[in-house]
A = this chain, B = another copy of it.
Amino acid sequence: MASSPDGPRFVDIHPLPADDGPAPKPRSRAAARQVSLQPIRPPRPTAADFSMFRTKSSLSKPPTPSSLPLRAEPAPSPPPQAVVVPAGRYFAALRGPELDHLRAHEDILLPKDSTWPFLLRFPVNTFGVCLGLGSQAILWGSLSSSPATAFLHVSPIVNFSIWVLALASLATISAVYALKCAFFFEAVRREYFHPVRVNFFFAPWIVCMFLTIGAPGAVSTAPHPVLWCAFMGPVLFLELKIYGQWLSGGKRRLCKVANPSSHLSVVGNFVGAILAVRVGWAEPAKFLWAVGFAHYLVVFVTLYQRLPTSEALPKELHPVYSMFIAAPSAASIAWANIYGSFDEVSRTCYFIALFLYISLVVRINFFRGFRFSVAWWSYTFPMTTASLATIKYAEAVQSPVTKAMALALSLLSSAMVFLLFVSTLLHAFFWRTLFPNDLAIAITQNKVVSGRKKGAIDSKNWPSQPQDQPSPVPLASAKI
């Protein structure tokens, strides 16, 4: 809804690279060198050139090679969209806990100063909005139905309203992202290879399961197993892909790509297990719990160790750390649902989540001073999951203390979601700054070592031509 006015605009902006055109023949060696320094990157377009991120089949005609006379001759470098950006490159070119800020001295493929098409600026972590709202729907459903919070007399209408809102946001965001897939598939591909973003591809399916679990009246009637199959299928497919990458996939080894948002790839299992219990399939639930637990263990230990190879965890704390709470909370709820009681395992998982929660709360001053972004949304659902686990715990251990804990955590998470909701509306419609240019998808494949090279241009002899940098312009032609 929020983005529909912007939605159709992108289609007719620069459908083809009109002025990708004949680069002026360089006369000086320095100018030629400058070209050779940017081997993969096309000459900076004066107006924006977004065709490289378009779905290939949606390009009516390929860019004419004759328009790039100098570059086409020696070794026609593959078009940028054909090349997969290696994982290390994302870490080298980007910074911040979400790897969404460009490092100094890094250049990007798209113009920084103009606004890109809406779809290109629409990141996959926008699904975090649905995660936050969907989990809130479950929370308010629990608050109204749980015996531990019966004293609150929460009306089921709250649950219903939030559920409808979550459903609407999911429908909207899914529709927009589907358009992005259709028109800018190469940008989606780059998000898929982004070490942080890839985990958000789990989000839509987790939200679907959230909505099924938190549907009004879901407690009375069990959902149909086909829903579980439909939502869990893509999650399992993605998991086989991503866990396999950790174990055997070349450079994307876990000790390199592990970051707090990796928890998202684990949480799906526990949510799926909860839904499996709801549809009446206990054994698949246990299967998912086991898979989730094994990989949670690995991710937990890896993140706690903070291996020197893992560059994603920044020195300062950040909302991204709240992800640590999500997996043990969800594991606790799932185990309690599967085995019917909040027993030792549930409690151990829950208390681990609680300790991590406390550990973050006492560092609350770290959380201040960060610029709002849509990614913040995904950090509300761990808080909500912890609240849900606390309600479950308060059902098992009935005392004023546990009820107070459940109430406090629930209010905290709801307040957080409300604040974010208002901020998002303000950013979306008032300031219109919700979706800045998404630099993370537009990094170059190779580092343009401009700093070191600028000094080298003046020097007469180039004794050591760097081997890792393909030079499309041969030296002979550069000396013309």
Contacts and interface: CB of A to CB of B under 8 A. Distances in A.
A149 to B, nearest CB: 19
B339 A344 contact: yes
Contacts of A351: 286-287, 289-291
A421 interface: no
Contact of A300 (B286, B291, B294, B309): B294
Given A289-B348, A348-B286, A359-B240, A253 B301 contact: no
Nearest to A328: B294
A362 B242 CA distance: 13
Contacts of A290: 347-352, 355
B240 A358 contact: yes
Nearest to A302: B305
Given A290-B355, A344-B339, A351-B291, A308 B305 contact: no
A44 to B, nearest CB: 34
A287 B355 contact: yes
Interface in A392-416: 397
A255 B306 contact: yes
Nearest to A362: B240
A294 to B, nearest CB: 5
B301 A302 contact: yes
B247 A306 contact: yes
Interface in A268-315: 283, 286-287, 289-291, 293-295, 297-298, 300-309, 313, 315
B287 A321 contact: no
B253 A294 contact: no
Most B Cβ at <10 Å: residue of A300, A305, A317, A352? A305
Interface string A331-353: 00000000100001101111110
A473 interface: no
Interface in A342-389: 344-345, 347-352, 354-355, 358-359, 362-363, 366
A250 interface: yes
Contact of A307 (B249, B305, B345, B366): B305
A444 to B, nearest CB: 24
Stoichiometry, as copies per complex, reads 3
B248 A315 contact: yes
A166 to B, nearest CB: 30
A301 B240 CA distance: 17
A206 interface: no
A297 B352 CA distance: 12
A458 interface: no
A243 interface: yes
Most B Cβ at <10 Å: residue of A247, A291, A321, A344? A247
A370 to B, nearest CB: 14
A316 interface: yes
Contacts of A289: 348, 351
Contacts of A366: 248
Most B Cβ at <10 Å: residue of A298, A350, A358, A362? A298
A358 B287 CA distance: 12
A357 to B, nearest CB: 11
Most B Cβ at <10 Å: residue of A286, A321, A354? A286
A450 to B, nearest CB: 22
A350 B240 CA distance: 17
Given A248-B315, A309-B308, A359-B243, A297 B301 contact: yes
A321 B249 CA distance: 13
Given A283-B397, A355-B294, A304 B240 contact: no
A435 interface: no
A120 interface: no
Contacts of A321: 247-248
A305 B302 CA distance: 7
A249 B300 CA distance: 17
Contacts of A307: 255, 305, 307, 309
20 contacts: A240-B358, A244-B359, A247-B306, A248-B313, A248-B315, A248-B316, A248-B321, A248-B363, A250-B315, A253-B306, A255-B305, A255-B308, A286-B344, A286-B351, A287-B351, A298-B301, A298-B305, A301-B302, A307-B307, A339-B344
Which A-B residue pairs are the 7 nearest by beta carbons? A290-B351, A253-B306, A290-B348, A287-B351, A255-B305, A298-B304, A291-B355
